[in-house]
Structure 1
Amino acid sequence: MCGIAVIVSGVRIDLSSLFPGSITPSAPQSEQESLFSLEDIKEALKRRGPDSLGSKKVILHSKIASSVGGQYVLSCAQGEEATRNDFLCNTNACQCITSESEEPYLLKNGLDKAKCVTELCFIGATLQLRGVNPIVQPLLDTFGNILVYNGEIFGGIYVSIDSNDGEVLKESLGKCCLCSSHEHTKACRESGKEETSVPDLLSTIKGPWALIYWQAWSRTMWFGRDAFGRRSLLVHWPTSKDPRLLLSSVSPRSSIDLGEECGQGGSNFWEELPCGIYSVSVGVSKLDGNTVAEVKRHEWTDPMLYELINWERTSVQPKPEELNVSRMKFCSRQHDLHPVNSTAVPHELGLIEAPVVLPSEAVLITLREAVKRRTTISTMFKGHAPVAVLFSGGLDSMILAALLDNCLDLKYEIDLLNVSFDKELAPDRISSRAGLKELKRLSPLRRWKLVEIDADLSNLTLETKHVMSLLNPAKTYMDLNIGLALWLASSGSGWVHEERIGNVNINYDNENCQSIKYKSEARILLVGSGADEQCAGYGRHRTKFRNGSWIGLHEEMKLDMQRIWKRNLGRDDRCIADNGKEARFPFLDEDVIRTLLGFPLWEIADLDQPSGKGDKRILREVAQLLGLHEAAVLPKRAIQFGSRIARESNRKNFGSNRAANLASAGSAEISRP
């Protein structure tokens, strides 16, 4: 999938359920009053290089006077042949039509455009990675329900290898009841119906997703993103400047400089939508008879999902004897560990019990399955490398590359994408070349391609401005450094070094081979996000451990996991998706998170030990099991430091690294003219 958006206009949006005491602005009188248009959002989504992009409109027309506010519901899809499905729902006449424009239909049926009180315009861009038949979003069913979906389903709902996630989800949502609250859901179940509610269904999905769904019969628009925020979804809550409700995977360029006064509570125009499930029910106000749309937030209904969100670990503070035994085992395992190629799969609903296998073996098995789920290749892929790895040569990316090699047929190449702002001198460039050698020793029959992407920050003026629009609403120099590095790396456009032997080019790794211009065509990009947060890889984790011991470390890691949607994932998803690639995060697989939480904290990390040993201890053991002995002892380096973009940015924006440190450059907001 690629990107989604909706524009809700012509209706008063009631936000009192989300923001108690908020004043709801009146609906805009015309499109000209809006700060940007439908075409602006389409243009932002087109940049992502989708296979298709489409839009559909739903128009609510005040024609039928009734005690429950009956309205005509017209669903208008632009640019398709005319079809119609007529049906009745309670006192509402619902008609689904398709035409080039809604105007001819409105005139034919004696409906006045001026009395169309509400308009919902859905936009869907599709980067099709699953399913043999081409699809065009928005997806429309025979009952007038409309879905735009950006995500993958790796569990909870069955999707065959050659089926499309969005199509399967559309069918499942179409079978949901019309309940909008848990009380109604309970009553629905007690009445003997087999239908499930929309929140029930969405709570079962394993994998990254963001969606917007129009349920025609109940006049309800559902929207939300998965519990960890692995897919971007921005929201503009109505304000006096722009009273529309807007949702979009990415902000249009024209909205980046709208000013602080445009947003809710003094924030920017856009904000990251907090993870969860929301509904907008359109009806008539009992007070004044005007059309109003009430926004509500719904709870997840899967108890196990709550366990992951709460991120509670049963064993945090070790007893001295427990820690001593663990350290003795760790030291002995450093000598005894050998590559493991087990294909065992953890039980879908639970953990592998610690007595059955070592913690590191359990994590390896679960991680391998997470990579396999994310890299199962549909028959639509032919020839080119289907999957790439965001590659620094560090611990996390080496584990992902080795596991991808386990899961992917040898006929496919694997692209390793590495970005540097200091050419061959950047730490990540050095470690990536060393990592390539280690991977080739482990899997000599695989055709590995280390794609070296070199950049000069002083020559990236236009690119920097564009990446700033992708970051929105993130706005610090650290966000910009990380975003620019991710954006350039995910472009896949760089150089590979090859030695020609006869008529064959062999991917090589010494200084005497030739450099060949290369652009990765892989549409799936494996990214190591979530490894540091869950396994204590950041410097601040060591600081918290030193100041607050094990409890302090646990609380800091929990905070990182519960805010990763806002600080990291939305930003990263927008920067990577702009290059027509889909980021996938195996370390944030639900089963991986559950497995890591199932072990004592001191088995995950032991920060009394030196850097490169105690931090991310369990992942270092996983690397040893995979035979990655050199990568297993590498220290943590964030992409902004390993690529040296932070150094170049500090010099450009602050004059020197020292001046940048004094100005707390990492958290400083970007200076815009």
Structure 2
Amino acid sequence: MCGIAVIISGIRFDLSNIVPDYVPPSPQPPEQVLFSADDIKAALSRRGPDSIGSKNVFLKLEKLPFEGVMPEMSTVGDDDSPFVIQEPCGVENGCEPDNFGQLHFIGATLQLRGISPIVQPLVDSSGNVLVYNGEIFGGICVGNDCNDSEILMKMLGRCCSCLSHDHSIKHGSCEEGEISVPQLLSRIKGPWAFIYWQNSSKTLWFGRDAFGRRSLLVHWPTQQDSRFLLTSVSPLSSECEISESKELENLNYWEELPCGMYSLSVCVSRTNGYHACELKRHKWTDANLEELVQWERMSVHPEAGKTCISRDYVHLEPSHRVLTVLREAVMRRTVLNTTCQTVSAHHGQGSAPVAVLFSGGLDSMILSALLHQCLDLKYDIELLNVSFDGQFAPDRITAREGVKELENIAPSRRWKLVEINADLQRLTSEMKHVMSLISPAKTYMDLNIGLALWLAAGGDGWIYGGSADSQYSKHKSEARVLLTGTGADEQCAGYGRYKTKFREGSWLALHEEMKLDMQRIWKRNLGRDDRCIADNGKEARFPFLDEDVIRTLLDMPLWELADLSQPSGIGDKKILREVARLLGISGAAGLPKRAIQFGSRIARESNRINFGSNRAANQASAGSVEIYKARS
């Protein structure tokens, strides 16, 4: 998929359930707002979508309020449709803000599934509107030649429209077999963010999956901008312009929307006769999904003589079981749709439909070896590696060694190591752009990671042996799907600070730190990473965050995953090191963890530029230092 947005104006919001002490601002005329729909369209257009479209829904008060008479609400439309697709009605056209509410939907589509082109927003005959950015890998049946957005739209159209949205009881207006919107969304396995207008109940549904694998930013209405906005990415007009004092206006305009499902039910104020919305957050209705969100492990402390493993998956040894579910996760994300056929049709035989963000480390080597097992041999596999220190960056060294190991286990596959070289001092305009992509993240660490990911995902580099007269040839990756190892460290104790927690507090402290990271990964990592990768017209996919992989790792005793009493490169991510050996990549199985900002050496270069030296940066705890500060 690609990106989605909605802009709601002319409606007053009650956000007291989410924002404490919230004071609703009065709706403002369009000319007073900070960002326009065109700004958001421009940001989404940078992603190179196959199509981009927009639709307007206008809500009109049928009667002006008189004392003792309540106004009625209807959706403005013509004879053919309950919504209008035309110039909005606003103050400049003689319409009073309290008489009209507007919902402006924007959808950009990078089509990876389905045989027929689609243009978002999708609209059905009942006036429901959907913009969807995600993939359905399970829970809802999607045929290999079908588009998941169209399937989801049909199923949403059959959902209950009870205004109470209390799905714990059956309502008289519900027909037999009807399910609620939260019940439907709780079934989906895979990454998603969505915005859906349910016309029959005058309700806007929106949200993102339980782990936040797709970005969705929110602007809550304020006195400065009374609109409600949702968007996959911050518009370019909010790009960071830093003054000498490193201050930034409008710093807190956007927030990462917390994972979950939300509804805004539009009604008419009984006292003043204007459009009003109340925001509600809904619980996941699937018990298994809720267990994953809570992330409680049954077996944390090793006990003498205790060999049992939770649940009933003991038919396979732990490492074999993890290998199996990881292979299935990669298969779902690379083969069980029309991705390969689409790419080969555009770029010819042998073109790589899928690429791997590749450091040559443990996680990316496992994904590469599994991708080889899943993908037809007629396709190349591209391994995208970024360096800010040429051939001397640690990730460049391990990447080259890793390719040799992959060639040994899979000599029939054509592997393409795409070496992407960067000079941080020459990336001034690119850095400003990436700062807008990582927003609302704002630390030097976020910028370093975001810039490295953005350049790697761009795939603009060199490959070895590309021509007769030169060892290297220029190469631009055209793969639209990128596999990344995000989630492996959080679930298998890969970070160095886990060893400190284990040493200070033993197994329980280790579990609690891992749980903390899994429950905040949406805010610290995934939204930022999704925006930086998607800006290149690519879709990030996270096999380690597949629901079945998370369940399998969570069901295992913690001591099967890691033994942090052992040295780095042995006890950390122990289970994944065993998986690597099963795949025949024993060299990668012994590599220590190295984050992209250090392995690519962007952190070192950034420290020199911004702090004068690595030592000064370490003394200042540069990783957590904010790039700019809000004006007081």
TM-score range, shorter chain: over 0.9
Matched, 1:302 2:283: no
Distance 2:97 2:440 in 1: 35
3-state SS of 2:413 partner: coil
Please say if 1:161 is aligned against 2:144: yes
Secondary structure of 2:170's counterpart equals helix
Task: Show CA shifts across 1:42-99 (max 9, x none).
Answer: 1111111111111000001111479775222036xxxxxxx8546xxxxxxxx2344x
Pair 518,84 (structure 1): closer, same or farther in 2 beyond 3 Å: farther
Q: Alpha carbons of 1:545 and 1:185: their partners in 2 closer, same or farther (altered >3 Å)?
A: closer
Instruction: Please state if 1:96 is matched with 2:110.
Output: no
The residue type equivalent to 1:616 in the other structure is K
2:225 maps to which residue? Answer: 242
Answering whether residue 421 of structure 2 is matched by residue 454 of structure 1, we say: yes
Match in the other structure for 1:643 = 600
Structure 1: unaligned runs, 5 residues or longer: 76-82, 87-94, 327-349, 506-511
Aligned match of 1:70: 72
Native 8 Å contact 1:419 1:429 kept in 2:
yes
What is the distance in 1 between the residues matched to 2:182 and 2:64?
A: 31
Name the counterpart of 1:335: none
Give distance in 1, aligned partners of 2:629 and 2:272: 44
CA contact (8 A) 1:311 1:558 kept: yes
Please name the residue that 2:59 is paired with: 60
**Structure 2: how far apart are the matches of 1:625 and 1:74?**
62
TM-score (norm: length of structure 2): 0.93
Per the alignment, residue 145 of structure 1 pairs with 128
Cα distance, 1:454–1:184 mapped onto 2, change above 3 Å:
closer
- Asked if 1:7 is matched to 2:7, the reply is yes
Is the 8 Å Cα contact of residues 57 and 84 (structure 2) preserved in structure 1? no
Find out whether 1:316 has 2:325 as its counterpart. no
Q: What are the superposed Cα offsets for residues 371-400 of structure 1, whole Å, 9 maximum, x if unpaired?
A: 000001413332321100000000000000
TM-score, scaled to structure 1: 0.87
1:471 paired to 2:454: no
Report the Cα offset of residue 520 of structure 1: 0.4
SS in structure 2 of the partner of residue 186 of structure 1: coil
* Aligned: 1:272 with 2:256: yes
Aligned to 2:196: 213
**1:227 equivalent in alignment to 2:210:** yes
What corresponds to 1:597 in structure 2?
554
SS of the residue 1:120 aligns to: strand
Contact 1:185–1:196 under 8 Å retained in 2: no
- Give the Cα–Cα distance (whole angstroms) in 2 for the partners of residues 181 and 446 of structure 1: 56
Moved more, 350-359 or 55-64: 350-359
Partners of 1:623 and 1:629 within 8 A in 2: yes
Q: 1:255: Cα distance to partner?
A: 2.4
Q: 8 Å contact 1:185–1:197 — kept in the other structure? A: no
1:429 has 2:396 as partner: yes
Greater CA drift, 482-491 or 182-191 = 182-191
Give how far 1:239 is off. Answer: 0.5
Residue deviations 1:273-302 (CA, integer Å, cap 9, x gap): 000000111111223222211111111111
Structure 2 residue aligned with 1:489, among 444, 456, 461?
Answer: 456
> Does the aligned pair in 1 maintain the 2:299–2:310 contact within 8 Å?
no
What letter matches 2:413 in structure 1?
R
Post-superposition offset of 1:513: 6.5
Q: Does 1:291 align with 2:282?
A: no
Equivalent position of 1:547 in the other structure? 504
Once the two structures are superposed, residues 630-665 of structure 1 have per-residue CA deviations (whole angstroms, 9 ceiling, x without a partner) of 000100000000000000000010000000000100
Aligned residues: 614
Whole-angstrom CA distance in 1 between matches of 2:629 and 2:389: 26
- The alignment status of 1:133 with 2:116, answered yes or no, reads yes
For 2:332 and 2:206, the matched residues in 1 are separated by 25
Shift of 1:101: 3.4
Taking the aligned partners of 1:582 and 1:16, their CA distance within structure 2 comes to 35
Mapping for residues 81-92 of structure 1, pairs under 5 Å: 84-85=79-80
Aligned position for 1:89: none
Q: Contact 1:59–1:116 at 8 Å: present in 2 too? A: no
Decide whether the 8 Å contact of 2:47 with 2:536 is kept in 1. yes
Distance of 2:408 and 2:463 partners within structure 1? 18
Determine the structure 2 residue equivalent to 1:381: 343
- The 3 A distance-change label for structure 1 pair 258 and 453 is closer
Q: Which residue in 2 is equivalent to 1:24?
A: 24
Q: Which moved more, 1:115-124 or 1:541-550?
A: 115-124
> 2:58 corresponds to which letter in structure 1?
I
Aligned partners of 1:602, 1:394: CA distance in 2, in Å? 22
Counterpart of 2:303, as a letter, is K
Amino acid at match of 2:330: V
Q: Which residue of 2 aligns with 1:46?
A: 45
Describe the SS at the equivalent of 1:462: helix
Give the equivalent residue in structure 2 for 1:565.
522
Q: Which residue of 2 aligns with 1:416?
A: 383
SS at match of 2:62: coil
Q: In terms of mean alpha carbon deviation, does 30-39 or 592-601 score higher?
A: 30-39
Q: Which residue pairs with 2:328 in the alignment? A: 369
- Cα distance in 1 for partners of 2:374, 2:576 equals 19
Counterpart residue identity of residue 57, structure 2: V
Whether 1:255 and 2:238 are equivalent positions in the alignment is yes
User: Of 297, 315, 330, which residue of structure 2 is paired with 1:356?
Assistant: 315
- Alpha-carbon distance, 1:9 to partner: 0.4
**In structure 1, what residue type is equivalent to 2:524?**
R
- 1:351–1:594 CA contact under 8 A, matched in 2: no
Q: 1:342-398 CA deviation, whole Å, 9 max, x = no partner? A: xxxxxxxx9983431101110100000000000014133323211000000000000
**Are the equivalent residues in 2 in contact too, given 1:640–1:646 (CA < 8 A)?**
yes
Contact persistence 2:580–2:588 (CA under 8 A):
yes
Distance of 1:420 and 1:392 partners within structure 2? 10
Residue in 1 that maps onto 2:157: 174
Query: How much does 1:186 deviate?
Result: 1.8
Task: From the superposition, tell whether residues 405 and 261 of structure 1 become closer, same or farther in structure 2 (CA, over 3 Å).
Answer: closer
1:117 is displaced (CA, Å) by 1.9
- Is 1:652 aligned to 2:619, yes or no? no
The yes-or-no answer on 1:612 pairing with 2:569 is yes
Structure 1 range deviating more: 513-522 or 178-187: 178-187
Residue identity (%): 63
- Asked if 1:124 is matched to 2:91, the reply is no
Aligned counterparts of 1:279 and 1:211: Cα–Cα separation in 2? 12
> SS where residue 239 of structure 1 aligns?
coil
Amino acid corresponding to residue 134 of structure 1 in structure 2: P
Distance in 1 (alpha carbons) for counterparts of 2:143 and 2:164: 31
Aligned counterparts of 1:361 and 1:659: Cα–Cα separation in 2: 46
Q: Pick one of 392, 407, 424 that aligns with 2:359.
A: 392
Segments of structure 2 that go 5 or more residues without pairing to the other structure are: none
- CA distance 1:630–1:284, change in 2 (3 Å): same
Cα deviation per residue 1:592-615 (whole Å; 9 max; x = unaligned)? 000001110000000001111100
Indicate conservation of the 8 Å contact 1:85/1:97, yes or no.
Answer: no
Q: Given that residues 70 and 273 in structure 2 are in contact (C-alpha distance below 8 angstroms), is that contact kept between their aligned partners in structure 1?
A: no
Q: Tell me the distance in 2 between the aligned counterparts of 1:254 and 1:182.
A: 37
CA distance in 1, matches of 2:83, 2:287: 37
- Tell me which moved more, 38-47 or 176-185: 176-185
Provide the C-alpha distance between the structure 2 equivalents of 1:175 and 1:622, rounded to a whole number of angstroms.
43
